[in-house]
């Protein structure tokens, strides 16, 4: 079955899920699972359910954002970023809203097992994550429009995802694991900063007061650098606390982050900044893979 524009229906929905950035959901779960494995607490079913929860919350958030930015007037024909299916007329607003609801429902159902295994506190964490994703850019007082999205991404794609994944397997909360979670959280925030730096003009016109809109494009570049530096500090502190200097191997990823920052600073060209989103996502994955390797050595 094909859309009116000739694209297969399945391809439209994959595109709208923004697959190039989905490593932001996968990588923290990988890191949390590695910490559990290092403690001989690996639990395969819990790890798989945690991955499904993280993945479908991000997909649901992306679908919801696709619709909400269109409804709020933030996505127009002059959009610089990758195509949005609602704005492009490839799917109706009603269909995109329904797809977001289905994705959040899948995340909720996958999380039920984790609640049974880990306790009711996980229900509240999961519902809070889904709620924040659902209202991410819904209205003038949403996370994205108030400039709070960066904090949401840092926390939920960082310590919550990593420590939560570890907890449902080890059944014990660990502050060092939560600290390690800030590393992927910083890089997930960097993905958002690229997006918001590219879209500063459209966001300002739509009243979307991201941190970049509030503080300027140079602040977006500076904050990207802060995220890269923060991820490096997390690795060094984690290695010191664990007495495991193999963790420092994750620092190999830092020059990549600095190169991305220089690219972000040098140009406003969407043709360059759009691939930078995928590059930062892959950087996040590489960082977590290296961090994970160091943890189990």
Q: Which of 12-26, 125-139, 213-227, 250-264 has the lowest mean pLDDT?
A: 125-139
What is the three-class DSSP state of 80? coil
Cβ-proximal residues to 58 (8 Å cutoff; 6+ apart), any chain: 21, 22, 24, 25, 133
Mean model confidence pLDDT for the chain: 91
Give the pLDDT mean for 79-92.
Answer: 77
| Structure tokens that stand for 158 in this block | 């960082």
Q: Read off the pLDDT of residues 1-58 as tens digits, 9 standing for 90 and up.
A: 444 455 677 788 998 999 989 999 999 999 999 999 999 999 999 999 999 999 999 9
**Residue 80's pLDDT band (boundaries 50, 70, 90)?**
low
For residue 66, being part of any structural domain is answered with yes
Mean pLDDT across 244-269 = 97
DSSP for 4-63, please give it: TTS-BHHHHHHHHT-GGGTHHHHHHHHHHHHHHHHTT---HHHHHHHHHHHHHHHHHHHH
pLDDT of residue 73: 65
Task: Please give the pLDDT value at position 194.
Answer: 96
CA-CA distance, 105 to 99, in Å (whole number)? 10
| Domain-embedded: residue 33 | yes
Question: Is position 4 within any domain?
Answer: no
Residue-range definition of the domain harbouring residue 22? 9-296
List the Cα angle 156/154/195 in 5-degree steps: 110
At 85 the three-state DSSP class reads coil
pLDDT digits (tens, 9 = 90+) for 179-234: 999 999 999 999 999 999 999 988 888 888 899 999 999 999 999 999 999 999 99
Give the count of domains, the chain: 1
Task: Write the CATH number for 179.
Answer: 1.10.600
Residue among 7, 204, 19 nearest 89 (CA)? 7
- Range in 180-189, 241-250, 265-274 with the lowest mean pLDDT: 265-274
- Measure the CA–CA gap between 69 and 79, rounded to whole angstroms: 11
pLDDT score of 149 more than 50: yes
Is the per-residue pLDDT at 81 higher than 80? no
The verdict on residue 1 lying in a domain is no
- pLDDT above 90 covers a percentage of the chain that reads 74
**pLDDT value of position 1:** 45
């Amino acid at each position: 079955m094909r859309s009116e524009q000739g694209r297969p229906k399945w391809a439209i929905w994959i595109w709208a899920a923004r697959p190039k950035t989905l490593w932001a959901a996968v990588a923290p779960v990988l890191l949390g699972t590695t910490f559990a494995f290092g403690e001989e607490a690996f639990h395969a079913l819990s790890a798989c359910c945690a991955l499904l929860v993280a993945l479908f919350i991000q997909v649901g958030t992306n679908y919801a954002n696709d619709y909400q930015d269109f409804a709020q007037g933030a996505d127009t024909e002059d959009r610089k970023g990758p195509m949005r299916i609602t704005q492009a007329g490839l799917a109706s607003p009603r269909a995109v809203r329904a797809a977001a609801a289905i994705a959040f429902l899948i995340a909720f159902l996958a999380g039920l097992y984790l609640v049974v295994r880990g306790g009711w506190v996980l229900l509240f964490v999961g519902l809070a994550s889904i709620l924040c994703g659902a209202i991410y850019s819904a209205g003038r007082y949403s996370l994205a429009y108030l400039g709070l999205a960066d904090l949401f991404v840092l926390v939920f794609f960082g310590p919550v995802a990593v420590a939560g994944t570890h907890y449902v397997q080890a059944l014990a909360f660990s502050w060092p694991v939560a600290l390690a979670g800030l590393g992927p959280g910083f890089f997930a925030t960097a993905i958002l900063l690229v997006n918001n730096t590219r879209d500063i003009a459209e966001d300002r016109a739509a009243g979307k007061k991201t941190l970049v809109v509030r503080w300027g494009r140079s602040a977006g570049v500076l904050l990207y650098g802060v995220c890269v530096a923060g991820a490096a500090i997390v690795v060094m502190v984690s290695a010191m606390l664990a007495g495991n200097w193999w963790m420092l191997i994750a620092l190999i990823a830092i020059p990549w982050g600095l190169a991305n920052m220089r690219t972000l600073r040098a140009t406003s060209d969407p043709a360059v900044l759009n691939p930078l989103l995928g590059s930062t996502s892959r950087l996040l994955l590489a960082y977590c893979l290296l961090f994970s390797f160091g943890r189990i050595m």
